[in-house]
A and B are shown apart, each in its own frame.
Chain A
Amino acid sequence: GAGVSQSPSNKVTEKGKDVELRCDPISGHTALYWYRQRLGQGLEFLIYFQGNSAPDKSGLPSDRFSAERTGESVSTLTIQRTQQEDSAVYLCASSLGGAESYDREQYFGPGTRLTVT
């Protein structure tokens, strides 16, 4: 079946502009996650959705970052007034279950490489 898809694959934007990143999870997966991977570094958690609610937004770096999810489907991550330190690969993942499930292995999309100039 289809895996997690993300668009765009690459985005170059000027400092100060807003960007929107999209994630399509695996069909039937109730949990969705956003992570960020800076060059040569590990992955840092940004936000978790169970259905269309976001119980954990603790990883969002600042109020310039926001995310929403439509039902158990598409999610968008929005970064307003982008800064150079926002340059990174943004990864989306989905899992069949969330907090109350053993089926919590996450399947990742290919990522969106964001470059802020």
Chain B
Amino acid sequence: AQKVTQAQTEISVVEKEDVTLDCVYETRDTTYYLFWYKQPPSGELVFLIRRNSFDEQNEISGRYSWNFQKSTSSFNFTITASQVVDSAVYFCALSESDYNQGGKLIFGQGTELSVKP
């Protein structure tokens, strides 16, 4: 069965601290896709990144970086030098390769990040 676990419900940091959001997934598929979304207080989900299961290369985008480890079924997200504008709920999600499911996303419960000035 597919499942995404974000064990950290809430994280609070002070501005400029680095913070890592954990994501662990379960799937029986050999081909799958992982995502991170940001949901700021305004409510609209914002796509951050997609990672394919066959591409384990880590990625950096500005202050954001992602560490994909197939061996531990984890896809962690690090924000370097956090800012107040990073305050949001962050969701990790999984999509499998079942044709009939399309790109249906299985979401984790989300991690609420609060960055204080």
* A residues apposed to B, CB below 8 Å: 31, 33, 35, 41-45, 48, 50, 55-56, 59, 89, 91, 93, 95, 97-102, 104-111
Contact B103 A97 (CB under 8 A): yes
Partner of A43, one of B33, B46, B95, B107: B107
Would you call B91 an interface residue if the criterion is a C-beta within 8 Å of the partner chain's C-beta atoms?
yes
CA distance A84 to B37 in the complex (A): 28
Contact B102 A98 (CB under 8 A): yes
Contact B106 A45 (CB under 8 A): yes
CA distance A63 to B59 in the complex (A): 43
User: In whole Å, how far is B47's beta carbon from the nearest beta carbon of chain A?
Assistant: 5
Contact B102 A45 (CB under 8 A): no
Known: A42-B91, A43-B107, A102-B52. A55 touches B44 (CB 8 A): no
Known: A89-B43, A108-B44. A55 touches B109 (CB 8 A): no
Q: How many residue pairs bridge A and B at CB < 8 Å?
A: 75
With A33-B102, A43-B107 given, can you name 18 additional A-B contacts, CB distance below 8 Å? Answer: A33-B104, A42-B108, A42-B110, A43-B45, A45-B105, A48-B102, A55-B102, A56-B101, A56-B102, A56-B104, A91-B45, A93-B45, A97-B103, A99-B103, A100-B99, A104-B102, A106-B47, A111-B43
Question: What residues of B have a CB within 8 angstroms of the CB of A89 in the complex?
Answer: 43
Q: Which residue of B lies closest to A89 (CB)?
A: B43
Q: Which residue of A lies closest to B48 (CB)?
A: A105
Q: Which residue of B lies closest to A55 (CB)?
A: B100
Q: Which of B35, B95, B99, B102 has the most CB of A within 10 A?
A: B102
CA distance A14 to B23 in the complex (A): 39
Question: What residues of A have a CB within 8 angstroms of the CB of B106 in the complex?
Answer: 45
CA distance A62 to B103 in the complex (A): 22
Known: A42-B110, A43-B91, A104-B33. A110 touches B104 (CB 8 A): no
Contact B44 A110 (CB under 8 A): yes
Question: What residues of A have a CB within 8 angstroms of the CB of B109 in the complex?
Answer: 41-42
